[in-house]
Structure 1
Amino acid sequence: MVPGVNIVLLGMTGTGKSASANAILGRDRFPSRASSMPVTTEVQRAETEVKGICMQVIDTPDMFDEDMQPSLRAKLVEDCKRVCGSGSCVYLLVMHVSRFTDGERDILTKMERAFGRHVSERTVVLFTRGEDLRRAGLSLDDFLRSSHPGLQKIVQKCGNRCVLFEKSRSNQSQVEELLETVSGMMKRERVSTNSEEGKMGWWPGLITRLIDLIGGEPWPADAGNFTPRSSQMEKPCGLAL
């Protein structure tokens, strides 16, 4: 089996981190329910395997809550890093399509403080409650074009990488879209990876395995520029398939 990747779900309370993690896993592993209080209070993890790729899915509490004690926030960040270990991390910033709060305006800054200044380069924005857009007759692109400038800035800083989850759709198809977006992000990193083969070890193999998984073209060893196959990497944002 190809060594895997850590998928870390981050975001504010009530955005659907645990439900999204369960969708990725294909089973109800993390508690998820409507509540006025946080349901997730500690860093949790579970593993799944997709066509030979081991993915560790890491669910987290709202560690960016401004009312949280700094010592508790520091502990949660360290717990998350410890669970990830030395493996590669992909961050999913989970956001609710029907709201954009003051606390989310500077969430990337908070993430950079916690996980380093390059965290946005490894981040995909995962929007939940896609059924709200469907009822309104809006696509994800429509939604983003009319959304708050602060939200648009977050998406842009994350390389316009975003996916939409909704309850009425197959979890499998949504996870495939997410993996395609992640693989596109990994392809873009391959150029720098080629110059660091010794340090990265299995990383190129994981990229190749993900590309095979979603049916993309092999990444040439001498590649210098990459033109994404998926149109979602070229537009402001959109679904991956």
Structure 2
Amino acid sequence: MGDIPDRTVIFIGETGAGKSSCANALAGFERFEVSASSCSVTKDVQAVTVTLPWEGKKYTVKIVDTIGIGDADFSPEEVLSRLAVACHECREGINAVFLVIGMRFTKEQAEAFDILWQVLFGPQVVELTTVVRTRFEKFNDPTAVREDKAVLQRKTGAAKRILSHIGDRLLYVDNNKDKRKALKESGSIMLKYLIGLSCKNVFRPPIMEDVRKKISEHVEEQKRLAKEKGELRKQLQQAAEAQLGCPG
């Protein structure tokens, strides 16, 4: 491609959020299997490199689709291990991470974002992360987009947890595969955004061994916290039972 740089983008998000359909929209054809259930169709990392035209030039774009966070078929540790493969797939560098979120910001999505920068890639990747808001029917209406952004900025909970890091880096798309025109326009929105990024702003993920070590530490910490919560719950229950057994 001469002096035109490649772009590499990785799609990450909760199962059923629309990662694979967004990846298909960007690629321009159905390369990735799609599911809306609690079980992700994407069980392992899938990657494709496509040549896409934009304003008279051609760009090679590497698109990496990943297993959904929260896949009901796998334990959290197994999901993270498969996401570690995504790090290796992108070892030559990442230009953008698309965190795919549907119409609601959930606790699981916030946890997926935390895993992204705390466990898999490190804090540097936050600057390259953009939220892709899916199933937004008025995605090409500037007023509707502006109003939704204003609403999101006032939200608390998961939305605030994510947007406090992301800021205004949101893309709006309609990834309904039955709406071919909307799907094509959504792909163009994502491509335009990618091409507009500086080719010099590239993040190179940690080596696989380091990622697997972080995953192991994360899983052990989650087990420890779960054990502590269980013990605390048991103590509170025993205290409540003792209180009920005391004579008035």
TM-score by length of 2: 0.65
8 A contact 2:6–2:59 mirrored in 1: yes
1:75-90 correspondence to structure 2 within 5 Å: 75-90=81-96
Q: Does residue 60 of structure 2 align to residue 61 of structure 1?
A: no
8 A contact 2:18–2:36 mirrored in 1: no
Unaligned runs of 5+ residues in structure 2 are 205-248
The offset of 1:78, in angstroms, is: 2.4
Q: In the alignment, what sits opposite 1:20? A: 22
Between 62-71 and 6-15, the greater mean CA deviation after superposition: 62-71
Q: In the alignment, what sits opposite 1:11? A: 13
Which structure would you say has the larger RCO, counting Cα contacts within 8 Å and 6 or more residues apart? Answer: 2
8 A contact 1:11–1:64 mirrored in 2: no
Q: Does residue 114 of structure 2 align to residue 100 of structure 1?
A: no
1:183-230 Cα shifts (integer Å, max 9, x gaps): 55538x66xx9xxxxx9xxxxxxxxxxxxxxxxxxxxxxxxxxxxxxx
SS in 1 for 2:171: strand
The offset of 1:26, in angstroms, is: 0.5
SS in 2 for 1:145: helix
Q: In the alignment, what sits opposite 2:32? A: 30
Aligned length: 187
Instruction: Please identify the structure whose Cα radius of gyration is greater.
Output: 2
2-side partners of 1:67 and 1:170: how far apart?
31
8 A contact 2:10–2:63 mirrored in 1: yes
2-side partners of 1:87 and 1:171: how far apart?
27
Q: Does residue 128 of structure 2 align to residue 122 of structure 1?
A: yes
Task: Rate the CA distance shift 1:47–1:68 in 2: closer, same or farther, 3 A.
Answer: same
Letter in 1 for 2:36: A
SS in 1 for 2:6: strand
Letter in 1 for 2:162: I
Unaligned runs of 5+ residues in structure 1 are 194-198, 200-241
SS in 2 for 1:130: coil
2-side partners of 1:158 and 1:182: how far apart?
16
Letter in 1 for 2:116: M
Task: Rate the CA distance shift 1:66–1:34 in 2: closer, same or farther, 3 A.
Answer: closer
2-side partners of 1:49 and 1:183: how far apart?
12
Q: In the alignment, what sits opposite 1:234? A: none
SS in 1 for 2:35: coil
Task: Rate the CA distance shift 1:78–1:110 in 2: closer, same or farther, 3 A.
Answer: closer
TM-score by length of 1: 0.66
Task: Rate the CA distance shift 1:65–1:40 in 2: closer, same or farther, 3 A.
Answer: closer
The offset of 1:73, in angstroms, is: 3.3
Letter in 2 for 1:102: K
Task: Rate the CA distance shift 1:12–1:124 in 2: closer, same or farther, 3 A.
Answer: same
Question: Structure 1 or 2: larger helix share?
Answer: 2
SS in 2 for 1:56: strand
2-side partners of 1:36 and 1:62: how far apart?
9
Q: Does residue 166 of structure 2 align to residue 158 of structure 1?
A: yes
1:168-197 Cα shifts (integer Å, max 9, x gaps): 44444333322343355538x66xx9xxxx
1:77-113 Cα shifts (integer Å, max 9, x gaps): 321012112133410000001x222212343321112
Over the aligned positions, Cα root-mean-square deviation in angstroms equals 3.0
8 A contact 1:95–1:128 mirrored in 2: yes
The offset of 1:16, in angstroms, is: 0.4
1:212-223 correspondence to structure 2 within 5 Å: none
Q: In the alignment, what sits opposite 2:214? A: none
8 A contact 2:16–2:35 mirrored in 1: no
Identity of aligned residues (%): 25
Letter in 1 for 2:168: N
